[in-house]
A and B are shown apart, each in its own frame.
Chain A
Amino acid sequence: MQKFEKGDTLSLPAKKITQAMICEYADAADDHNPLHIDEEFAKTTRYEGTIAHGMLSMAFMQELMVRTFGVDYLTRGAIEVSFMAPVRPGDVIETSGKVTIFEEETGKAALQVICQNQAGEKVLNAKCTLRAKEA
């Protein structure tokens, strides 16, 4: 397992959200809520246009964790995410994390992970953790 220090930062290359990507996600996740895929409908809502599924951006956070911790994240990991602001077609999302806990001996770790848009606005905020390895 890779070693980290408290305060280390990790990131993914930025991803551009497009309406095509949102529609592809809707099909893949079987979530066809019109708020995400029907511009005419979405214009009538308080969002005034389509927005991406929150779980689409959350996937970027999970990608960061798996690229960092590999299979350990699938056996000991957890994520708790708050959806702070909508992600819209055209947004460019940067995903980054800061290590807040890392115990080499136990394997326990915690990261504060955020997704932010091109304006620097935080759109998702998460705490990602790895439980200690079982003895």
Chain B
Amino acid sequence: MIMKFADVEVGKEYPAREYVVTEEGIRAYLAAVEDNTELYEKERLVPPAYAAVFARWEVVADEQLADGTVHAKQRFEYYKPIHWGEKLSVKGVVKEAKEKRGMKFVVREVDVYDSTGDLVVVSTITVIFPA
């Protein structure tokens, strides 16, 4: 379903979904961004930028953005390294919806936990809905 600004509910929580970071997925990602940093291979670590894949809104919500939606800002905070093969739990919450200078901003947060329940990544996504 295509999400409209009027339908955005601040405070709405989206239940946890599972996401497994696979070795195949990490290798394909590193090849695509042309990153050969040795650390990832040597310690089987997930690159922080891969949070763009598992900590995005589409992982927690079955909502499509309307054409013309702009991804204006993105923040990631990291708390613990993630290893290849780990099973993650990904939750979402709508933090803010506001109109400013005629633009419709929505801020969403995606919180990612590892299998021990520790918080590993927080992703804060700011989008501008089409007028």
A residues apposed to B, CB below 8 Å = 15, 21, 24-25, 27-31, 45, 54-56, 58-60, 62-63, 65-67, 70-71, 73-83
B residues apposed to A, CB below 8 Å = 25, 28-29, 31-35, 37, 39, 43, 45, 47-49, 52-53, 56, 58, 67, 70-82
Give the distance in Å from the alpha carbon of A56 to the alpha carbon of B31 in the complex. 12
Give the distance in Å from the alpha carbon of A25 to the alpha carbon of B82 in the complex. 21
Could you show 10 A-B contacts with beta carbons less than 8 Å apart?
Answer: A15-B34, A24-B31, A28-B32, A29-B29, A63-B33, A63-B35, A66-B47, A66-B48, A74-B82, A75-B79
Return the chain B residue nearest A26 by Cβ. B32
- Chain B positions within 8 Å of A28 at CB level: 25, 28-29, 31-33, 53
Q: Is the CB of A74 within 8 A of B80?
A: yes
Q: Is the CB of A82 within 8 A of B73?
A: yes
Asked if A25 meets B45 with Cβ closer than 8 Å, knowing A54-B71, A58-B52, A73-B78, the reply is no
Q: Is the CB of B53 within 8 A of A29?
A: yes
- Chain B positions within 8 Å of A31 at CB level: 56, 58
| B74 CB contact (under 8 Å) in A24, A56, A60, A80 | A80
Give the distance in Å from the alpha carbon of A74 to the alpha carbon of B81 in the complex. 5
| A21 CB contact (under 8 Å) in B25, B32, B58, B73 | B32
| B39 CB contact (under 8 Å) in A58, A59, A70 | A70
- Chain B positions within 8 Å of A76 at CB level: 78
Give the distance in Å from the alpha carbon of A52 to the alpha carbon of B56 in the complex. 17
Return the chain B residue nearest A127 by Cβ. B75
Closest 4 CB pairs of A and B: A59-B49, A55-B52, A62-B49, A59-B33
Q: How many whole Å from B131's CB to the nearest CB in chain A?
A: 13
Q: Is the CB of B77 within 8 A of A78?
A: yes
Q: How many whole Å from B122's CB to the nearest CB in chain A?
A: 9
Q: How many whole Å from B108's CB to the nearest CB in chain A?
A: 15
Give the distance in Å from the alpha carbon of A59 to the alpha carbon of B28 in the complex. 14
Q: How many whole Å from A112's CB to the nearest CB in chain B?
A: 15
Q: How many whole Å from A133's CB to the nearest CB in chain B?
A: 13
Asked if A78 meets B78 with Cβ closer than 8 Å, knowing A59-B47, A59-B52, A65-B48, the reply is yes
Q: Chain A CB within 10 Å — which of B31, B33, B47 has the most?
A: B33
